[in-house]
Amino acid sequence: MSKESTQKGKVEEWERLIQRMNANAQDLPHLEVPRARLEAMLAGAREAAAQQAAHTAGKQEASQKLKTFQVEGERVASLIRSALKQHYGIRSEKLAEFDVKPFRGRKKKGGLEVRPGKSPADGSHEPVR
């Protein structure tokens, strides 16, 4: 019965078993066919592990490329949005076509409205009801 439970451990166990069987081949001629099958399984497992490692590395590389594209793409998109605001003006409703919110003024806080002609710095604002 196998003591190993990990894939790598099982493969290493197979390697040791095959080496020991090869060292005692004269005593074990009746196990030649299963030994050859185990060697084929070992070769297949090594190949599959190599492919898996290559895919993992490729996936990591693709993830890094994607992150780079996302960062650079967002920088360019931000530049374009700023250029659109400059071109059309920050209040132009045309900006909405590009998913850019036009500036429509600030929302009033707590029902207070600043009256035209009076400076908020004076503290001269009156509630509007």
Give the model's pLDDT for residue 118.
55
90 within a domain of the structure (yes/no): yes
pLDDT band of residue 129 (cuts 50, 70, 90) is low
113 within a domain of the structure (yes/no): no
* 115 DSSP assignment: P
Asked if 35 and 16 touch (Cβ cutoff 8 Å), the reply is: no
Q: What is the DSSP string of 8-29?
A: HHHHHHHHHHHHHHHHTTTT-G
129 within a domain of the structure (yes/no): no
Sequence-distant (6+) residues with CB within 8 A of 45 are 7, 11, 14
Residue 33, both tokens: 């066919």
Backbone angles phi, psi at 75, to 5 degrees: -65, -45
108 within a domain of the structure (yes/no): no
116 within a domain of the structure (yes/no): no
Three-state secondary structure call for residue 113:
strand
Task: Give me the chain's average pLDDT, please.
Answer: 85
117 within a domain of the structure (yes/no): no
Q: Average pLDDT, stretch 113-129?
A: 56
35 within a domain of the structure (yes/no): yes
**Residue 107 corresponds to which amino acid?**
K
Range of the domain at 61: 7-103
Give the model's pLDDT for residue 108.
79
Give the model's pLDDT for residue 6.
87
Structural domains in the chain (count)? 1
**What would the pLDDT profile of 15-67 be if each residue is shown by its tens digit?**
999 999 999 999 999 999 999 999 999 999 999 989 999 999 899 999 999 99
66 within a domain of the structure (yes/no): yes
Q: Is the dihedral of CA 28, 33, 38, 42 positive or negative?
A: positive
Three-state secondary structure call for residue 112:
strand
